[in-house]
Chain A
Amino acid sequence: MMALSIDKLSLCINGQVLFAPLSLCVEPGSITSIIGASGVGKSSLLDFLCGILPPEITAAGSARIGNEDIGNLPPQARGLGRLFQEPLLFPHLDVAGNLLFGLRRGNSRRERRERVAAALASVGLEGFEQRDPMTLSGGQQARVALLRVLLAEPRALLLDEPFHSLDDDNRRLVRDLVFAKAKQRDLPTLLVTHDQEDVAAACGAVIQLQAHV
């Protein structure tokens, strides 16, 4: 795996600069936390990395994975896995369908099914293939969302307060699971959060995003 780096990034909304130019580098297998007041542009930072900034926000600066500049790639070619604040499982697909959607092409149908089953088993959700995502608990949905991202074989992981909506017990469990998987795959991980416990558990660099004045 290669490092994820950002160089002199600043975001502008309607001509107003959001935060001071930001440079950072996340090494493979490490988790960098980004904290800051709401509205300072934490989620927009992740939107920039994913290539889905809304048209009213403009960006200056660059982002790279290893030596590749990803700033001009279309969103689907960037290879960044992102967990949103909610699990956002596709409501029209069952659990297996959601995971097969994430899984890269290739292999036979049966092998793909087996990989999905193994992935579910690895997070304690054996036999959940046919379930309607809406019937799962918040913690279960979060785990399926994580698997969906991982099966797409991302080059880096972007976490946008993904534990925020979970209750205390589930939050710890899901957080430990996400961090363990990220480290196991040696992924550079960027975590946006409000929660000091998240920051402590990440055991990595912490960047305080400050409003530009």
Chain B
Amino acid sequence: MMSKTIIARPAVLLLFCVSALPALAGLTAAFWVGLDPAAMSRVVATPGIGLSIASSFWTGSVATVLALLLAHLAVALAVSGNWQRRLNALILPLLAMPHLAIGIGLALVLAPSGVLLRLLSPWATGFELPPDWLIVNDPAGLSLLAGLVLKETCFLVMALGAALGQVPAARLQTLSATMGYGPLKSWLATVAPALQQQIRLPLAAVFVFGISNVEMAIPLGPDLPPTFSVLLWRWFTDPDPAIHAQAYAGTLLLFVGGIAAILAANFIGGLARKLLRASAESGARRNTEWPVRRLIAAVLASGFILGLLSIVAIGLRAFSRQWRFPALLPDHSSSDIWTDVAALSASVATTTLALAAATALLGVALVLPAAERCKQSADARRQIGAWLFLPLLLPQMTFLFGVQVLLIRMRIDGTFIAVLWSHLIFALPYLWGLLAPARAAIDPRFDQVAATLGVSPAKRWLTVTAPLLARSTLLALALAVSVSVALYLPTLFAGAGRIATAASEAAAAAGSGNLRLAAAHAILLAVIPLCIFAIAYATGSLLFRHRRGVPR
């Protein structure tokens, strides 16, 4: 037992060295370089800067509130209606889809010449030509809001689902049912407040992402002026180096915004609990919940269909040249377009897949030994989880810019290793969240039985622990692949613009307004996560399919 502790402790340290340490070092470096009064005053003097910052906060905060509301309603509806497993399966494709892909797809659906109006034209609207409406990139940021709500609702549903294990949901439900409450109301009044307490970190991450993202704001966000994060992104990618100092200083403002977002998320979470509790104390009951349930289901379903449509739209746009307006499908999809897209994305696909595979394998290899160390201590698991989560609570641009400064000092900026490292920072919190509890859930007596049968520790791990972890590990690999594929800013900063992945190409194309090219790259963004999850689930259910006792 003792020797194991000693071997495993470095495993935990290593995890910090790969993740939280560079994030904090990057933050420090960002302050070191970015604190420049002259540049800061130029940032503040930028025309429209106030509107930029306001639209970042407006979209980020409203998206967070709506996503939280919808996520609670979705989970309440699903669990109280006994289809929670189906809900998890339903959100998986949207959850696995990168923000950038959903953003590009939604732009193709919502635009005046988009799929939505084609579905209604000309029979319902009478349009023979796309109308002159500013729907996508609208100044109020409504389409950006829609995209954020779509993605973040799925993320929060997942977070709520993960928290479900820590709340005695079934007992609370039965208890309030005996007091005359319907399943939906008893869920919202008794279980949801406890769950809300458990998802404080994910909620803060959603808010921070909401105000600081570029992945959705580039294809969907307002244009003149853009959101603050997109403005910074334009400065960072500007060919004129004189502009860069402004970007450096701007990331510090973004950091302050991130802190404000965390505080605001905390406030929203507290408010949500207060409201849920107030509804519990009101004592109001309904004889039938069906009308309310139908209404909620309809809202959720329309959002879900919008998400699926945007995935379909990416495919249609990528494999077509001509797409006259009211026609629902492109004119022709010839084979030379296929070869076009293939030639375009072959080398990008290789880089993207290599990065994703390396991130997944290395990430799992880093997490498993540390999870082994923490299998007996829920406190240790939670603390390590919180540290690993830290990079998700910082605006990506602030600390990534600092990381880039450090990478240049180390002379490894623009290398595969540097980008891999930056991807690991973002994959590790998810891997930990999945694998650490899965490891802890394995009955320790299996290992003890194997020990009394005369088997050495290393062989015990290989023959008993590893097989019981196999299914979770497969899912973890798929999760890490989908995280890595989706990452744009880490690739941009650590790769110094020299490493081209599907995400970086799609973002660049969307940034220059070329949605067809963006869609061609977004195809990879959409297909890789979907395929990898399909493979992981299929393999997982084939493995041990005649063994009922193996954990799912």
B549, closest chain A residue (CB): A91
Using an 8 Å CB-CB cutoff, how does the interface string of A86-105 with B read, 1 for contact, 0 for none? 10111111100000011010
Interchain CB contact under 8 A, B453 and A101: yes
Interchain CB contact under 8 A, B452 and A88: no
At the interface, yes or no: A67 with Cβ under 8 Å from chain B?
no
Interchain CB contact under 8 A, A76 and B549: no
Using an 8 Å CB-CB cutoff, how does the interface string of B537-551 with A read, 1 for contact, 0 for none? 000000010111111
Given A50-B448, A55-B1, A84-B445, answer yes or no on A91-B453 (Cβ-Cβ < 8 Å).
Answer: no
CA gap between A56 and B518 in the complex, in Å: 59
Interchain CB contact under 8 A, B546 and A152: no
B449, closest chain A residue (CB): A88
Distance in Å: Cβ of B372 to nearest Cβ of chain A:
15
Complex contacts, B456 vs chain A, CB 8 Å: 74, 76
Complex contacts, B453 vs chain A, CB 8 Å: 76, 81, 101-102, 148-149, 152
Complex contacts, B457 vs chain A, CB 8 Å: 74, 76
Interchain CB contact under 8 A, A76 and B467: no
Interchain CB contact under 8 A, A132 and B443: no
CA gap between A148 and B549 in the complex, in Å: 18
CA gap between A66 and B362 in the complex, in Å: 48
At the interface, yes or no: A123 with Cβ under 8 Å from chain B?
no
Using an 8 Å CB-CB cutoff, how does the interface string of B476-508 with A read, 1 for contact, 0 for none? 000000000000000000000000000000000
CA gap between A178 and B549 in the complex, in Å: 25
**Contact pick for B443, options A55, A76, A88, A135, CB 8 Å:** A88
Distance in Å: Cβ of A140 to nearest Cβ of chain B:
14
Given A88-B446, A91-B547, A91-B549, answer yes or no on A76-B463 (Cβ-Cβ < 8 Å).
Answer: no
At the interface, yes or no: A52 with Cβ under 8 Å from chain B?
yes
Complex contacts, A101 vs chain B, CB 8 Å: 450, 453, 455, 463
CA gap between A79 and B550 in the complex, in Å: 28
Using an 8 Å CB-CB cutoff, how does the interface string of A28-51 with B read, 1 for contact, 0 for none? 000000000000000000000011
A70-85 contacts to B (CB < 8 Å): 74-82, 84
Interchain CB contact under 8 A, A92 and B454: no
Complex contacts, A177 vs chain B, CB 8 Å: none
B176-223 contacts to A (CB < 8 Å): none
Interchain CB contact under 8 A, B548 and A132: yes
How big is the A interface, by class? 20 to 34
Given A92-B468, A152-B453, A152-B454, answer yes or no on A52-B448 (Cβ-Cβ < 8 Å).
Answer: yes
CA gap between A148 and B446 in the complex, in Å: 13
Interchain CB contact under 8 A, B448 and A90: no
CA gap between A79 and B451 in the complex, in Å: 10
Distance in Å: Cβ of A153 to nearest Cβ of chain B:
9
Given A52-B448, A92-B544, A135-B548, answer yes or no on A76-B454 (Cβ-Cβ < 8 Å).
Answer: yes
A133, closest chain B residue (CB): B549
Given A88-B443, A88-B445, A92-B544, answer yes or no on A81-B468 (Cβ-Cβ < 8 Å).
Answer: no
**Contact pick for B550, options A80, A88, A92, CB 8 Å:** A92
Distance in Å: Cβ of A157 to nearest Cβ of chain B:
10
Distance in Å: Cβ of B520 to nearest Cβ of chain A:
43
At the interface, yes or no: B14 with Cβ under 8 Å from chain A?
no
CA gap between A149 and B550 in the complex, in Å: 21
CA gap between A137 and B510 in the complex, in Å: 61
CA gap between A78 and B454 in the complex, in Å: 8
Distance in Å: Cβ of B465 to nearest Cβ of chain A:
10
CA gap between A134 and B464 in the complex, in Å: 16
Interchain CB contact under 8 A, B452 and A132: no
Interchain CB contact under 8 A, B451 and A76: yes
Interchain CB contact under 8 A, A50 and B452: yes
CA gap between A102 and B551 in the complex, in Å: 22
Complex contacts, B443 vs chain A, CB 8 Å: 88
Given A88-B446, A92-B467, answer yes or no on A50-B451 (Cβ-Cβ < 8 Å).
Answer: yes
**Contact pick for B455, options A76, A94, A133, A135, CB 8 Å:** A76
Complex contacts, A149 vs chain B, CB 8 Å: 452-453
Complex contacts, A74 vs chain B, CB 8 Å: 456-457
Complex contacts, B446 vs chain A, CB 8 Å: 88, 90
CA gap between A82 and B453 in the complex, in Å: 8
Distance in Å: Cβ of B397 to nearest Cβ of chain A:
45
Distance in Å: Cβ of A144 to nearest Cβ of chain B:
12
Given A88-B446, A90-B464, A92-B544, answer yes or no on A134-B549 (Cβ-Cβ < 8 Å).
Answer: yes
Complex contacts, B445 vs chain A, CB 8 Å: 84, 86, 88
Interchain CB contact under 8 A, B548 and A134: yes
CA gap between A92 and B551 in the complex, in Å: 9
Complex contacts, B1 vs chain A, CB 8 Å: 52, 55
Complex contacts, A89 vs chain B, CB 8 Å: 549
A81, closest chain B residue (CB): B452
Given A132-B549, A133-B549, answer yes or no on A91-B468 (Cβ-Cβ < 8 Å).
Answer: yes
The winner among A52, A91, A104 for most chain B CB atoms within 10 A is: A91
Complex contacts, B548 vs chain A, CB 8 Å: 91, 132, 134-135
Complex contacts, B448 vs chain A, CB 8 Å: 50, 52, 75, 82, 84
CA gap between A102 and B549 in the complex, in Å: 19
CA gap between A20 and B533 in the complex, in Å: 57
CA gap between A85 and B445 in the complex, in Å: 10
B1, closest chain A residue (CB): A55
Given A88-B446, A90-B464, answer yes or no on A80-B452 (Cβ-Cβ < 8 Å).
Answer: yes
Interchain CB contact under 8 A, A104 and B454: yes
Complex contacts, B455 vs chain A, CB 8 Å: 76, 101
Complex contacts, B470 vs chain A, CB 8 Å: 92
Complex contacts, B549 vs chain A, CB 8 Å: 89, 91-92, 132-134
Distance in Å: Cβ of B4 to nearest Cβ of chain A:
11
CA gap between A89 and B548 in the complex, in Å: 12
Distance in Å: Cβ of A208 to nearest Cβ of chain B:
26
**Contact pick for A77, options B449, B454, B464, B468, CB 8 Å:** B454
Distance in Å: Cβ of A6 to nearest Cβ of chain B:
17
Complex contacts, B546 vs chain A, CB 8 Å: 94, 132
CA gap between A140 and B164 in the complex, in Å: 35
CA gap between A76 and B458 in the complex, in Å: 11
**Contact pick for B451, options A52, A86, A93, A102, CB 8 Å:** A52
Distance in Å: Cβ of B331 to nearest Cβ of chain A:
54
Complex contacts, A132 vs chain B, CB 8 Å: 546-549
Distance in Å: Cβ of A187 to nearest Cβ of chain B:
14
- A-B residue pairs in contact (CB < 8 Å), sample of 7: A75-B452, A82-B452, A91-B547, A93-B547, A134-B547, A135-B548, A152-B454
In the complex, given contacts A52-B1, A93-B547, what are 10 additional A-B residue pairs having Cβ atoms less than 8 angstroms apart?
Answer: A50-B448, A81-B453, A82-B452, A88-B445, A91-B544, A91-B550, A104-B454, A132-B548, A148-B453, A152-B453
Closest 8 CB pairs of A and B: A91-B549, A75-B451, A134-B548, A134-B549, A92-B467, A152-B453, A82-B452, A91-B550
Could you tell me which B residues sit within 8 Å of A by CB distance? Answer: 1, 443, 445-446, 448-457, 460, 463-464, 467-468, 470, 544, 546-551
